[in-house]
Amino acid sequence: MIKKKIRYFFTNSMLLGLTCLALNACGSKLAEDHPQGIWLGKMEVEQGTCPTDRIAALRVDKKMVLFSPDNGALILRGDFDKKQKPRHLVAKLHRVDMDHKPYDLIFEGKAKDENIIGTYGTPDCRAHITFYRPKHYGLSDAIAH
């Protein structure tokens, strides 16, 4: 009786382990399939003066896109539609400068392989950003899905 229970336990454990391995192998790490989570990237200036001394941060939730160009106080917001393919991420922040002229900050991005490629633009700056999913944010990425 005990041998039967032990054999049953090991058989089920082995099947569970193989199932987990198979699911892990089939799980896609492509940004197009799973863009939700936290993404980090460094700005590469194309034109003008951009904040390049800090890392840019992008967070894609179930319904919202948040982008911070220098991981600081400015946060650009946008909507996210999970059903839209191909993924097109847009976040904006409308501000007014000291001369009461509009000063718009815009981020546009799209998924490419395991990264999100984006462009950040203001009247003074244009930068290209390649976002990657940091390894140490695994739990928050899993929760965001």
| pTM of the predicted structure, to 2 decimals | 0.71
DSSP readout, 44-110?
EEEEE----SS-EEEEE-SSEEEEETTSSS--EEEE--TT-SS-EEEEEEEEE-TTS-EEEEEEEEE
Under 8 Å CB-to-CB from 112, ≥6 apart: which residues?
Answer: 31, 32
Reported as a pLDDT band with limits 50, 70 and 90, residue 102 is: very high
Tokens in use for 16?
Answer: 């569970």
Query: What confidence score (pLDDT) does residue 8 get?
Result: 57
Task: Give me the pLDDT at residue 7, please.
Answer: 60
Beta bridge partners of 99: none
Where do we find the tokens 């002229």?
Answer: 101
Listed residue (55, 54, 70, 61) closest to 38, CA to CA: 61
**What is the pLDDT averaged over residues 116-138?**
87
* pLDDT for the residue 80: 78
- pLDDT per residue over 63-100, tens digit each? 899 999 987 788 999 987 777 777 789 999 999 989 99
Residue 29 token pair: 């790490």
pLDDT tens-place string over residues 43-68 = 999 999 888 888 999 999 888 999 99
